[in-house]
Amino acid sequence: MKQFFWQIILGILGLYLAILLVPGVTISGGQELTQPGIKTLFLAGVVLGLINFFIKPIIKIITFPLRLLTLGLFGLIINMAMVWIVDVLFPELIIANLSALFWTSLIVWLLSWTGPGREPKRV
């Protein structure tokens, strides 16, 4: 349950950082976050967290041979696909091009990889 919560928080934070840092990523018509923009950011982050928690592990299992063949680089394509799904679901979130999609997915991946939800498993 804690991992689920952190995926949602890190999804919101990742999208927020992408809006601030990546050129070509905007929400609700501009860089400034208005009331509808904050609502869209929150909902898009929640959906991204849900996708990363429920759908991404299934896709990682299905694409394991491809990830093994590319030495894990296909994982970046999977992350880009997850962010792209959120971009399609929320028309207010605008990711202008492939470069912006790449950097946004890299920010989200770095946050989820180093985030506080990752705890070492005790045996």
Which residues lie below 8 Å from residue 66, measured CB to CB, with a gap of 6+?
74
pLDDT tens, residue order, the chain (123 aa): 788 888 889 999 999 999 999 999 998 755 566 767 888 889 999 999 899 889 999 999 999 999 999 998 999 999 999 999 999 999 999 999 999 999 999 999 899 888 775 666 666
Rounded to an integer, what distance in angstroms lies between the CA atom of residue 5 and that of residue 13?
Answer: 13
Cα torsion 42, 47, 49, 52 to 10°: value is -160
Residue 97 is classified by DSSP as: S
Chain-centroid distance, C-alpha 41: 12
Whether 76 and 105 have beta carbons less than 8 Å apart is answered as: yes
Question: In the chain, what are the domain boundaries?
Answer: 2-114
